[in-house]
Copies of this chain bind each other. A is one copy, B any other.
Amino acid sequence: MKTAAFLGLGAMGGPMAAALARRAADTGGRVLVWNRHADRAQAHAAEHGTQAASLPDVGEAEVIFTCLPTSADVNEVMEQLEPHLRPGAVWVDCTSGHPDAARAQRARLLERGVKFLDAPVSGGVSGAKTGTLTVMLGGPADEVEAVRGALAFAGRAVHVGDTGAGFAVKAVNNALLAVNLWAAGEGLAALARSGVELGAALDVINASSGRSNATEHLIPDRVLTRAFPPTFGLGLLAKDTGIALDVVDNVRGSAPVLAQVAALCRAAAQMIGPDEDHSAMLKLIEQMNGQEIR
């Protein structure tokens, strides 16, 4: 690869593009960057040796990465960028997007001879900075293999299925995060109100069968501390649980628990605020129970 482009320099995208740039420095390539607010692209270029580019110029890249809030944002950028794309290029979308959108986007780009892979990531900002993200790839196996080497921000990259499968797995992962977190909040609120010391309770739960990423990390780090640091927004989690329900719906499946939590998650985003950290959805549980989780 000679030229890569990265669109969307947010909390995740910024360090991901920087990882690409470090790799490119070793291999003689270059990384174009674009952001809705152009000053952020210029700052990125100055700090990480990337090149701020206009949307048309981004079309020169052989591999185009996007990391935007939603598939709707990707569609908007794609519409503008489409006339400038080079046949043979690959579009790798690291957004937590929608499987239906992935299928439509792939079909649209294939008409121009451009490939599309869905490639959402997990591992958080820290994983992005250390280049150890997990990537969930959806698309034809040969195309996945061909792009694997370009994923400089990845600690591991797993091919999970056909186009849309990456987004589907990511949505289900985030729905499980929401369920595990919400249920732990319900249980801990009742324990706190019963006079149980929550630190001790989490200690034993985390040594037992009820443990999850929520009880091991999110609740001790973000809720008990009352910090709720805004890294991953409640509104985006609500969006992702909605995508998971669409995955269920597309196969005429039945998922009563995911469905309930998706609805509660959306209520929390409405009542607590979409820009609050996702862990702040436990504030709704606190209101429902008249009991702080601390």
Contacts and interface: CB of A to CB of B under 8 A. Distances in A.
Interface of A: 99, 122-124, 134, 136, 156, 158-162, 164-165, 168-169, 172-177, 179-180, 182-184, 186-191, 193-197, 200-201, 203-205, 207-215, 218, 242, 244-245, 247-264, 266-267, 270-271, 285, 287-291
Contacts of A247: 190-191, 194
B172 A205 contact: yes
15 contacts: A134-B208, A158-B203, A160-B197, A164-B194, A172-B191, A179-B183, A179-B257, A186-B258, A190-B253, A193-B253, A194-B251, A211-B213, A254-B289, A259-B262, A270-B288
A156 to B, nearest CB: 7
Main secondary structure of the interface of A (DSSP, over half): helix
A174 B207 CA distance: 12
Given A99-B194, A254-B289, A260-B260, 4 more contacts: A169-B204, A173-B210, A190-B244, A256-B260
* Number of copies of this kind of chain in the complex: 4
Q: Which among A159, A208, A270 has the highest number of chain B CB atoms within 10 Å?
A: A208
B257 A186 contact: yes
Given A250-B194, A254-B263, A264-B256, A187 B211 contact: no
Contacts of A203: 158
A262 B91 CA distance: 37
Given A180-B210, A251-B194, A255-B186, A169 B261 contact: no
Contacts of A253: 186, 189-190, 193, 266, 289, 291
